[in-house]
């Protein structure tokens, strides 16, 4: 039976439990059959038995594992020994013997071809003269396999964090795994990775250095309302103060402290000269006048001997004081007594009916 192309390996992906697998290619001895299990990245060699198909190894075989497997890959290979078993003597050649030896030669070729299919091979378009040698043991020990700028094979140094093949200064924002992979470090407080880039995280007030931000570095156009009044405008001269206009915006230059004091003195003088801001309406016969501090004066007169005075508008909180003065002639005297005082009025006792003038103060 002749061998077809690439008939030395077959592979099965096992999902549910199974223990029986077919090897449909020719083999010569059980010792040539190799079974490998790959599960979770780990290779093992399970025990197995072989049953030639139709009792003839030329037809392949059924491989039965001693224990069923699942969730793995099973690879079955025919590995022919690199040796010649034939020893032909004169007159002892046979068609069957020659065919078997030719088949074994093809099997070895298939075996080598399969292995070469799993190695790195430089393309035929590479220029001549390149070096593909891996170097001596001392040259490549502890190194990584790599290529220089011309495409020649070189041994590259491996940098590990505190390892035997160099070191990484972790105080400079770098780190490295034991496998030699370098990486940048972030603290996830002030910096972080965003889509593979190092970015600054949002900074809150507590993270800012005291006095670390100056007025000149703040963009006033990005602010609004009362915040904007703190940053609009420019710095004034030494000893100047920042002032605001009628719209609540900072002016473009400071105001001299001396000028401000002079303006305040002028304004105070005008205030006093103008009556200090106490400008009640003209007297039109009313009973009350309210002072700037909130005190209220009420006044009036009566000729009644025993008068009951009722205010036109009662004091809102309390009546503090009542004073009564009698308009008396030289030959007339009278006793004046005030009693029953309240927010809405008071009563007086007078023996004569001459005019009495009264004034009440409250608030």
pLDDT at residue 359 tops 80: yes
Band of residue 302 on the pLDDT scale cut at 50, 70, 90? confident
**Cα–Cα dist 300/288, whole Å:** 9
DSSP string, 163-180: -TT----GGGTEEE-TTS
Mean pLDDT for the chain overall: 79
Q: Which of these ranges, 127-136, 195-204, 283-292, has the smallest mean pLDDT?
A: 283-292
Query: Mean pLDDT throughout 204-224?
Result: 73
With 60 as the cut, is the pLDDT of residue 236 above it? no
pLDDT at 28 over 80: yes
What pLDDT score does 111 carry?
Answer: 80
pLDDT over 70 for what percent of the chain?
73
What's the pLDDT at 69?
97
As a whole number, mean pLDDT of residues 341-346 equals 93
pLDDT on residue 271 = 67
Q: Of the segments 16-25, 224-233, 258-267, which one has the largest average pLDDT value? A: 16-25
As a whole number of angstroms, the distance between CA 251 and CA 243 comes to: 6
- The answer, yes or no, to whether residue 232 has pLDDT greater than 90, is no
Question: Considering only 3-17, 149-163, 196-210, which range has the smallest mean pLDDT?
Answer: 149-163
- Per-residue pLDDT of 87-117, as tens digits, reads 555 555 666 766 777 777 777 777 877 777 7
Most confident of 1-10, 35-44, 79-88, 161-170: 35-44
Most confident residue range from 26-40, 98-112, 193-207, 271-285: 26-40
The predicted-structure confidence for 42-91, as pLDDT tens digits, reads as follows 999 999 999 999 999 999 999 999 999 999 999 999 888 766 665 555 55
| pTM of full prediction above 0.85 | no
Range from 12-26, 47-61, 184-198, 237-251 carrying the lowest mean pLDDT:
237-251
Q: Which value, in Å, is the radius of gyration of the alpha carbons in the chain?
A: 56
3-state secondary structure of 240: strand
Give the tokens for residue 318. Answer: 């309390």
Each domain of the chain, given as residue ranges in start order, spans 9-116, 209-279, 288-362
Residues 18-41 have a mean pLDDT of 94
Residue 270 has pLDDT above 60, yes or no: yes
* Mean pLDDT of the region 296-302: 90
Rounded to an integer, the average pLDDT of 286-290 is 83
Please tell me the predicted confidence (pLDDT) of residue 5.
59
- Select the CATH number that applies to the domain covering 288-362 from these four: 3.40.30.10, 2.40.50.140, 1.10.3720.10, 2.60.40.3940: 2.60.40.3940
- Output the pLDDT for position 175: 80
Q: pLDDT at position 279, please?
A: 61
In eight-state DSSP terms, residue 206 is G
pLDDT at 177 over 80: no
Confidence check: pLDDT of 188 > 50: yes
- Position 59 scores a pLDDT of 93
- For residue 166, what pLDDT is reported? 65
Q: pLDDT-derived band of residue 330, with 50, 70 and 90 as boundaries?
A: very low
Could you tell me which of 319, 304, 332, 330 has the C-alpha nearest to residue 359? Answer: 319
- For residue 321, which of 275, 359, 264 has the smallest C-alpha distance? 359
Return d(Cα 219, Cα 37) in angstroms, integer. Answer: 67
3-class DSSP state of 214: coil
- Whether 343 and 362 have beta carbons less than 8 Å apart is answered as yes
């Amino acid at each position: 039976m002749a061998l077809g192309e690439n008939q030395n390996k077959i592979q099965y992906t096992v999902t549910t439990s199974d223990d029986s697998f077919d090897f449909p290619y020719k083999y010569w001895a059980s010792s040539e059959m190799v079974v490998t299990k790959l599960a979770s990245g780990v290779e093992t060699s399970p025990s197995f038995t072989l049953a030639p198909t139709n009792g003839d190894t030329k037809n392949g075989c059924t491989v039965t594992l001693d224990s069923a497997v699942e969730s793995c890959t099973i690879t079955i290979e025919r590995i022919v020994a690199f040796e010649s078993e034939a020893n032909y003597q004169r007159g002892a050649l046979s068609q069957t013997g020659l065919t078997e030896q030719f088949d074994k030669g093809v099997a070895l070729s298939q075996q080598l071809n399969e292995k070469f299919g799993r190695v790195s091979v430089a393309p035929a378009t590479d220029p001549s003269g390149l070096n593909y040698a891996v170097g001596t043991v001392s040259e490549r020990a502890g190194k990584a396999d790599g290529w220089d700028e011309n495409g020649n094979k070189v041994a590259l140094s491996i940098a590990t964090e505190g390892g035997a093949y160099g070191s990484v200064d972790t105080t400079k924002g770098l780190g490295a795994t034991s496998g030699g992979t370098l990486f940048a470090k972030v603290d996830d407080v002030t910096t972080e990775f965003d889509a593979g880039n190092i970015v600054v995280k949002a900074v809150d007030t507590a993270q800012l250095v005291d006095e670390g931000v100056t007025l000149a570095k703040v963009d006033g156009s990005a602010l609004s309302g009362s915040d904007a009044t703190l940053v609009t405008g420019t710095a004034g001269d030494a000893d100047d103060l920042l002032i605001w206009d009628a719209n609540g915006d900072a002016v473009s230059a400071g105001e001299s402290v001396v000028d401000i004091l002079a303006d305040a003195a002028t304004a105070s003088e005008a205030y006093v000269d103008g009556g200090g801001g106490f400008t009640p309406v003209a007297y039109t016969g009313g009973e009350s006048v309210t002072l700037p501090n909130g005190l209220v004066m009420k006044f009036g007169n009566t000729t009644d001997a025993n008068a009951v005075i009722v205010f036109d508008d009662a004091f809102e909180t309390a009546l503090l004081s009542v004073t009564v003065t009698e308009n008396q002639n030289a030959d007339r005297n009278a006793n004046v007594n005030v009693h029953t005082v309240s927010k809405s009025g008071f009563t007086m006792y007078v023996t004569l009916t001459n005019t009495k003038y009264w004034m009440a103060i409250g608030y």
